[in-house]
Structures are given as structure tokens and as C-alpha cells.
Amino acid sequence: MEIKEQLDDLDQKICNSRNLEDVNSELKQYEELKNELKLLYDEKGKAAILSSKCKWVENGEKATKYFINLEKRNYNRKVITEIESENGSLIKDDKQILEKIEAYYEYLYS
């Protein structure tokens, strides 16, 4: 059962109860679920806001499909997927790409 459904069920139980002493455990569980749901929403929102440097997001707008796609496109632009070696062949293996980059900078700064 999803958190929202659990919150709705607990809300019904609390509202339909005749005795407030009987609902203390439900109230406590309701508050815990509410805090958990808020944390989930906050984490998702922060991830989109931090990675997207668009003015609209910084000013408080919700992350939209546009911003998520923009983030994905910017990530793909930054990733080196292939590199050309000294002999002209293309290297596509991540580990070999990292080794070539490391060797380049070692040579550059030696």
C-alpha cells in the first residue's frame, strides 16, 4: 500500500473515531507517514533543483519534464563516450578512456 493510501486510511480512522484516547497510535503513525512522504518529495525536488541551473527552478518553480530532459542532455554532453588514441583508433571502453585521460594529464603536467 502506498504512503498516500495509508495516510487516507488513517485519516478515515481518526475522523470516524468516537474516543480520542483510542486514536493516539493512529495519530502518531499518521504524523510519521506524513513526515516520510514530505522527505520523499523534498529529496526528489532537491535532486532536480540542484542539478538544473535554470533560472525558473532557482526561483521556486516545480521541476518539469523540460528541466529533467535538460538535465539529462547536459549530463550526456559532459560524458566522454569515446576517445581517439595516438594511432587513430577509437577507444569506447570506460576503463581504457580513463587510463588515456590519466596518461594525457600525467604527460601534460610532468
The pLDDT tens digits of the residues spanning 68-85 come to 888 888 888 888 888 988
Residue 1 pLDDT > 80, yes or no?
no
Q: What is the pLDDT of residue 105?
A: 92
Average pLDDT over all residues of the chain: 80
Q: What is the pLDDT of residue 106?
A: 93
Q: Which amino acid is at 39?
A: L
Whether residue 8 sits in one domain with residue 62:
yes
Whether residue 85 sits in one domain with residue 57:
no
**Distant-in-sequence, close-in-space partners of 16: CB < 8 Å, separation ≥ 6:** none
Whether residue 62 sits in one domain with residue 9:
yes
Half-sphere CA count of 76, side-chain side, radius 13 A:
6
Rounded to whole angstroms, how far apart are CA atoms 92 and 84? 9
Using DSSP, state whether 63 is helix, strand or coil: coil
Asked whether residue 72 is assigned to any structural domain, the reply reads: no
Whether residue 38 sits in one domain with residue 59:
yes
Whether residue 84 sits in one domain with residue 32:
no
Whether residue 13 sits in one domain with residue 49:
yes
pLDDT tens sequence across 25-47: 888 888 888 888 888 877 777 76
Domain range enclosing 43: 3-67
Q: What is the pLDDT of residue 51?
A: 61
Q: How many independent structural domains does the chain possess?
A: 2
Whether residue 39 sits in one domain with residue 9:
yes
Whether residue 91 sits in one domain with residue 63:
no
Q: Are 71 and 57 in contact (CB under 8 A)?
A: no
Whether residue 58 sits in one domain with residue 7:
yes
Lowest mean pLDDT among 52-56, 65-69, 75-79: 52-56
Residue 2 pLDDT > 90, yes or no?
no
Q: What is the pLDDT of residue 5?
A: 83
